[in-house]
Structure 1
């Protein structure tokens, strides 16, 4: 879903479609999660449990000197699970800290039975689904950092969220209740796009300058957290609210700007 934005004060028509997503049940076979290290061991901000808490903005961060090669998460279930894939959000989940920290380029998945597989991850905050060569059955699983994409400000390597796609394990990932599909919009001088993904991640910006973001739905509004301050609004938080006639609504941003529709087919 792509939103092209123009800030104005005239009302016009808008197409909005809500895509309902299921809310996953609490896992019946919850894992215990440990790690070989964590950043600032006395702090709760980077503990291994944060890699499976269902929240994008909390993350596990390894704590050794250097890039964290060889550091790992250990996940132990009470009873074995069968899984053919895992879902992962690579890097620090807060968009303001994602580029600053290392992200994983190659990850080794190993089980207590000695099965190992090394997979490549994209350098992206959006949800990635990793398919294995065959279905695996395991009670204890390790995820070990093999290679990284380097951050801009630190050598610390992070994982925002990971889950094994298994009926026996349930799922900790809870995406937003709805996704708004919001027409096309543009500014007078350039085209500003915001692409909202079902998993709560997004990208915002112009063709020549893009930034990461995350979003959540709160009642009649969507809250977007940007990687950096947006010059047009002078803030890194966008509050997009729907108002007016439900059949012919308008959207406002941060309580003062309105979107008007792009009729040019851009």
Structure 2
């Protein structure tokens, strides 16, 4: 007999098709008429449920295979990214740009060397740029006991340390400067560490700014007034550019030559501190500040003097400051 499902020939007494497993009919859907003629019933189509099951199995197999492949590729990539250190230290990657540990170490060493070199160059530059603080120190006059208390009260330049702002200088200039773009800075108050007391004569610090040659400030200590100072305040902040000095007592020749006059003074204003050595001539001596220094006050300290012929009093007649 023949299977109703797949048409396969089976034994007449078979209960199930040997090929597809379909239960056989007792009388058979396909009968044998004779050896040469076969009578067929209407053939049956394959069971669609079995076909669908086969497709599902294939899809599961494909999905599992794709997932396994993705997992394997991901694992290989991760292994290359986080694999442990091995071999030469120079082959270990430390960043996405493939900079090696050895190269990074060399770069750090080079950077440190560059910083040290730059620091040394700056120190050399600053040393070269530092102005001479005591330009005329080797020409300082040698005082004798005949010149009185000055010999015991004098303090050498080496004992005083004066710091100057980098690149800023205050020095004597030749001739009278051009003041067209500047203004005279008003002084509103002044005081001194000492002032001489004389009958019927006023010598206070504000007389430095009265524009009169017959008045002056005179220090009031014994000797030549070394380290005595006068301080004064402006009415506002200004960029100080020039300072004009009339040093000594300009009242007349007797007092000019008879009293002492400053030879070297320390100037302090704004963030600047430095010394200026004057000529000792009876003329207005101009000090130029380069570049200008922003300040609202100034202090002048006596460091050395030109001695007078009759008295030890050190005098200053006028001080005028110009700036922006």
The structure showing larger relative contact order (alpha-carbon pairs under 8 Å, at least 6 residues apart) is 1
User: Structure 1 length as normaliser, TM-score?
Assistant: 0.50
Name which one, 1 or 2, has greater alpha-carbon Rg: 2
